[in-house]
Structure 1
Amino acid sequence: MLDAEQVASLGFPQAIAALRAALVAGLDPETEPARVSFRLGGGEILVMPSGTRDLAGVKLVGVAPRNPARGLPRIHGMYVLFDAPSLVPRAILDGAALTALRTPAVSALGVDLVAPPGASRLVVFGTGPQALGHVRALCAVRPVETVRVVGRDPARTANFVDRLGRDGLRASVADAGAVAEADLVACCTTAREPLFPGHLLGPEAVVVAVGSHEPDAREVDFETVRRCGTLVESRAVALREAGDIVQAIAADPSIADRLTTFADLVRDAVPARPRLIKTVGMGWEDLVVAAAVVDAVA
């Protein structure tokens, strides 16, 4: 049984390395079992399975949108890691902590694949655990010097900026217009409509959007998708779940043919370097990071 502290102790550099190594070794996200969602209770329960020849695992996550008003985290869950041949359980991990580790790690891997080496100006939308995790993960792959924070609640935004300051970062409160001067933009929200107009982005800015896995929700607009080109975890999953992509394709079907995957870039199979990284979260990512956690604490 591994608690949240033990899961987090792996750290972003090791999680990023584990994800990269799995793709280099040939893991194919296109063959992954689909996520299953059930509307139950105060939200939804997600079931996310994955497996390889050696390991299998499943994450159960409860997402309750009204929990913050109750003083509770929005996400709770657990992850069970099995030995694949025997299906004997090897470990149970805190699922919320695993999500908080692997989601920013996936984003940081994408940024490391496509962002200019000197990218140092970050704008982050959101003030929750994923926003904090993304700041820290992106600092692990790029020399981030300034962080400008865009949040809905002024008090929470100010507290978030103070927290980043205690981490030694030059952080300040901003509005959506800050993306015009950003090298990196991290969208870590529950928004269902675009957070900023895509025409503001600089010619080399890299955008990460992680907030939704529903086809009718998006954090970036059509202009961002059109201008930047898109890096996704899996073409099939992006076309099914990524609202940012699904809605852009409705306006321009040719976008579906211009998606690049993490596996493409890790294996250097294509020359293109897209500047929008759209992820929805996949079971293979949880499996890879969970296995790395278990190996690290063994």
Structure 2
Amino acid sequence: MTANDVPPSSLPYVPGPAVRAALTPTQAVDALEAALRSGVDPEHDAPRTRLDTAHGQLLQMPSTAGTDIGTKLLTVSPDNPARDRPLIQGVYVLFGGEEQSPRAVIDGLELTNLRTAAVSALGVRLMGTTAPRHLAVFGTGVQAWEHAVAFADVFTLERITVAGRNRLKAEAMAARIERELGVDADTGGAEAAAEGDAVVCATSATRPFFDGDLVRDDAVVVAMGAHTPDARELDDVLMGRGFVAVESRDSALREAGDVLLAIEAGALRGIEDVATLAELAAGTARRPAGRPGVFVTTGMPWQDLAVAVAVAERAGA
């Protein structure tokens, strides 16, 4: 073994709590925007791969930027919640330098939770004409909560409305928001789409559940819950009205049902009818006045890498 070889047992491990301690949601958003401004091209990012296993799936999300290299490995086990175990578990393995040496192993679940909400907040930051004051969140699960946390950190929110099919869960989440985030919160239904400056759809729905005409022209809507070509959270009305942006056109054509089904229905002329985060960050695309912003996100490997590098640096890994 040479002096530069790093045995696996000596690799720094950054557990979930340390991930949160190392990076705030605002810092995660800044890391993502900095990656885009440094020249990262999401169109050339590696695709997410899925492998069916005996009890679910194994997902891998590799990416590289400069001398930073990393991959996220996740297992999805549908029977786990009944065992009181997480549905998704995983790790992120970070490499770096000219020798491509192992650098750190990072908790994959907390990295994903932090990154996912940060991507949505970045979309709102780049598409919004003003910072949102009122957030409407559709959903009551983990990602709905993570988005409330992130948006409360990134923006100066005055109110959060939680819209969920289960009234008790929505009320419990609203109470938690007030208790832990210090933001006024209430609950609502489909009408919440008409009230929010920013509207986040963080659900497991496969069909739209609010009328796209409800959304105000000055609002920004994020659809992040659908990750397959046949599932969507937004209707053709909103997709046709809105100025639509995606993480990359290539990834949207593989996974973004909101975009693919809107193209199929004629609400969008084609994939060339949408902008990208990179174009928004560079200023080569800009949301016009009088049209709601619509950001459709499915998650990409470059985002995990950008946030993982920032976590490792701040955690001293």
Give the TM-score normalised by structure 2. Answer: 0.89
Shift of 1:224: 1.5
Whether the 8 Å contact between 2:123 and 2:277 is mirrored in structure 1 is: yes
Give the Cα–Cα distance (whole angstroms) in 1 for the partners of residues 230 and 277 of structure 2: 24
Most deviating of 2-11 and 144-153: 144-153
Instruction: Report whether the alignment pairs 1:233 with 2:247.
Output: yes
Mapping for residues 1-298 of structure 1, pairs under 5 Å: 1-9=13-21, 10-83=23-96, 85-166=98-179, 167-252=181-266, 254-273=269-288, 275-298=293-316
Give the Cα–Cα distance (whole angstroms) in 1 for the partners of residues 237 and 270 of structure 2: 12
Q: In 2 relative to 1, CA 56–192 (structure 1 residues): closer, same or farther, beyond 3 Å?
A: same
Percent identity over paired residues: 43
Q: What one-letter code is carried by the residue in structure 1 that aligns with 2:271?
A: A
Q: What one-letter code is carried by the residue in structure 2 that aligns with 1:180?
A: A
Give the Cα–Cα distance (whole angstroms) in 1 for the partners of residues 165 and 200 of structure 2: 15
1:216 aligns to what SS in structure 2? coil
Q: In 2 relative to 1, CA 171–68 (structure 1 residues): closer, same or farther, beyond 3 Å?
A: farther
1:280 aligns to what SS in structure 2? coil
2:186 aligns to what SS in structure 1? strand
Whether the 8 Å contact between 1:188 and 1:210 is mirrored in structure 2 is: yes
Whether the 8 Å contact between 1:226 and 1:255 is mirrored in structure 2 is: no
Whether the 8 Å contact between 1:187 and 1:211 is mirrored in structure 2 is: yes
Q: In 2 relative to 1, CA 262–155 (structure 1 residues): closer, same or farther, beyond 3 Å?
A: same
Q: In 2 relative to 1, CA 124–69 (structure 1 residues): closer, same or farther, beyond 3 Å?
A: farther
Q: In 2 relative to 1, CA 154–80 (structure 1 residues): closer, same or farther, beyond 3 Å?
A: same
| Unaligned segments of structure 2, at least 5 residues | 1-12
Q: Deviations over 1:117-141 (max 9, x none)?
A: 2421211011222111111222233
Structure number with larger C-alpha Rg: 2
Q: In 2 relative to 1, CA 41–212 (structure 1 residues): closer, same or farther, beyond 3 Å?
A: farther
Shift of 1:66: 4.3
Shift of 1:12: 0.7
- Aligned residue pairs total 298
CA RMSD of aligned residues (A): 1.6
| Unaligned segments of structure 1, at least 5 residues | none
Whether the 8 Å contact between 2:69 and 2:100 is mirrored in structure 1 is: yes
Whether the 8 Å contact between 1:53 and 1:85 is mirrored in structure 2 is: no
Whether the 8 Å contact between 2:135 and 2:161 is mirrored in structure 1 is: yes
Task: Give the match for residue 8 of structure 2.
Answer: none
Give the Cα–Cα distance (whole angstroms) in 2 for the partners of residues 250 and 214 of structure 1: 15
Give the Cα–Cα distance (whole angstroms) in 2 for the partners of residues 171 and 88 of structure 1: 47
